[in-house]
Structure 1
């Protein structure tokens, strides 16, 4: 299988920027965080650090947290709804955040990006958004504009698969993307590695049931798995095909997984209303 970039939507992105008075970039969002995070403790066996959202976002049943990626003091979290998708930029030390709508630019404006956004990869100016059967959308964070209803980030291109694959989640690790499939009904549970620019995908059959996110560190894989809204989730770790389960390692409803190499932390985000946390655990605790 290959991932092939589609032509960039450069003209459409430029037109969107012109319509709203020019690009402001993610730096402008970082200086305008209008919502408050709260430090808390999450229900799991692994020692951790945890944050939760403001009251409205903790309870919201229209928007569901999905993907996570971390760079330095900031994290990005993706959300999906029936009407579109968005990302939140979090300043973890300041305990503040802001939502940014994801859109697909068109010749005469833009439309909501209707994808599940089950995983995120963030590296430099690029943001990779899992798009299930379609592949992986790629944004340039310098393209953020401020519209009449808030910040907007357009996609630039799609990494399209040459063969069927369910891009349930994606992470950026080192110089590559890690991708994988969710399955709870006897289908495929594959994992994969590919260069961030696309190209041949190294596909492995080493996934687990109800996988929600994955990263690779050296030859070891780490995969989150959910057990529903009431029971804490698992992290599976080890070489592909020989993963070992760490039960109750993360809170209930874990989604995507991200690796913070600078601090050797694994990050996840949970999705269920009133049980929504952003959590960081030491990778060494999980093998």
Structure 2
């Protein structure tokens, strides 16, 4: 895979599981309590397909320090970390202070859910490489063991949305055609949140335009995507396997396929016919691709399983 700064790639373990795919981290990120994985989507960069997984960093008190996105090469099961950053009033790069609970990847445009702060947009076509104290600062670290180089994606726009913006997912037609739309939803504890469908901004002055919204009546929603008239919603359940809900938006039912413990965001992958999700809890972290056939989804004239 031809990427800039290829020496920064780090391996990920990949294996088949129940007709699907499972990726596991092969470093301390499998158990660290400083970084937590959150959002996921599938995209392409320089002709190569990759998974994008967002992470946020916090200190021992729970204070937010930084956010990043790991691009996982689907062909080789390796990853490249990209730090998310903003430019302050003096033109200095600072860590993006967002939870990044969901991702939507359109070409070089990467949208991230910024809980309580709308949707933030980053440009993957203009990555920067920074060194020394700049690299340490955008990573939110000052320790001697912090790497001295970082690849950075800088925020280009901040889009206001009249929702809490806890997570973010894509929408597709029933034939697998990607739509210029996203589902934006709210994680709530004791209450149930709202999911809204929006068109993505068209051009530099565009905005997220709401098409419709609904309340699934589900607590602890973590992600939502749409395939034709069928919706999929993930629900976390503490240290128990997550729950997948599916069906028409006003008639979602619990699906028998279980999600990982500490499940988070969802992403549809029509090319490999997989529904991707991930788990956030230390020692239980996994990125899992669930085959469409297990969900009753099938592309017109398509295969009966993933092509990985």
Relative to the length of structure 2, the TM-score reads 0.78
What is the CA–CA distance in structure 1 between the aligned matches of 2:167 and 2:262, rounded to whole Å?
15
Does the CA-based 8 Å contact 1:235-1:286 persist in structure 2? no
The C-alpha deviation readout for 1:183-221, integer Å capped at 9, x for no partner, is: 1212x4111111111343121122522111110011110
Partner of 1:77: 53
Partner of 1:243: 252
Partner of 2:138: none
| Superposed displacement of residue 123, structure 1 | 1.1
Partner of 2:32: 60
Partner of 1:168: 166
Does the CA-based 8 Å contact 1:33-1:96 persist in structure 2? no
- 4+ residue runs of structure 1 moved beyond 3 angstroms? none
Partner of 1:131: 114
Q: What RMSD over aligned residues (CA atoms) do the two structures have, in Å?
A: 1.8
- Stretches of structure 1 that go unaligned for 5 or more consecutive residues are 1-25
| Superposed displacement of residue 228, structure 1 | 1.5
Partner of 1:101: 83
What is the CA–CA distance in structure 1 between the aligned matches of 2:102 and 2:94, rounded to whole Å?
21
What is the CA–CA distance in structure 1 between the aligned matches of 2:68 and 2:156, rounded to whole Å?
15
Does the CA-based 8 Å contact 1:233-1:247 persist in structure 2? no
What is the CA–CA distance in structure 1 between the aligned matches of 2:228 and 2:130, rounded to whole Å?
42
- Residue 207 and residue 266 in structure 1: after superposition, are their counterparts in 2 closer, same or farther (change >3 A)? farther
Partner of 1:210: 220
1:193 aligned onto 2:193: no
Partner of 1:6: none
Partner of 2:183: 178
**SS, match of residue 244 in structure 2:** strand
Partner of 2:265: 256
The C-alpha deviation readout for 1:234-279, integer Å capped at 9, x for no partner, is: 1100011210112452211110000112233210111011111111
Does the CA-based 8 Å contact 1:123-1:172 persist in structure 2? no
- Residue 87 and residue 252 in structure 1: after superposition, are their counterparts in 2 closer, same or farther (change >3 A)? same
The C-alpha deviation readout for 1:120-153, integer Å capped at 9, x for no partner, is: 0111110000001111001110121011121111
**SS, match of residue 294 in structure 2:** helix
Partner of 2:156: 156
- Higher deviation after alignment, 62-71 or 46-55: 46-55
Does the CA-based 8 Å contact 2:257-2:294 persist in structure 1? no
Does the CA-based 8 Å contact 1:190-1:204 persist in structure 2? yes
How many residues of Structure 1 are paired with residues of Structure 2 in the alignment? 254
**SS, match of residue 160 in structure 2:** strand
1:35 aligned onto 2:1: no
What is the CA–CA distance in structure 2 between the aligned matches of 1:207 and 1:157, rounded to whole Å?
32
Does the CA-based 8 Å contact 1:233-1:248 persist in structure 2? no
- Residue 34 and residue 258 in structure 1: after superposition, are their counterparts in 2 closer, same or farther (change >3 A)? same
Partner of 1:90: 72
Does the CA-based 8 Å contact 1:38-1:51 persist in structure 2? yes
The C-alpha deviation readout for 1:93-133, integer Å capped at 9, x for no partner, is: 21211211111112331111111100001111100000011
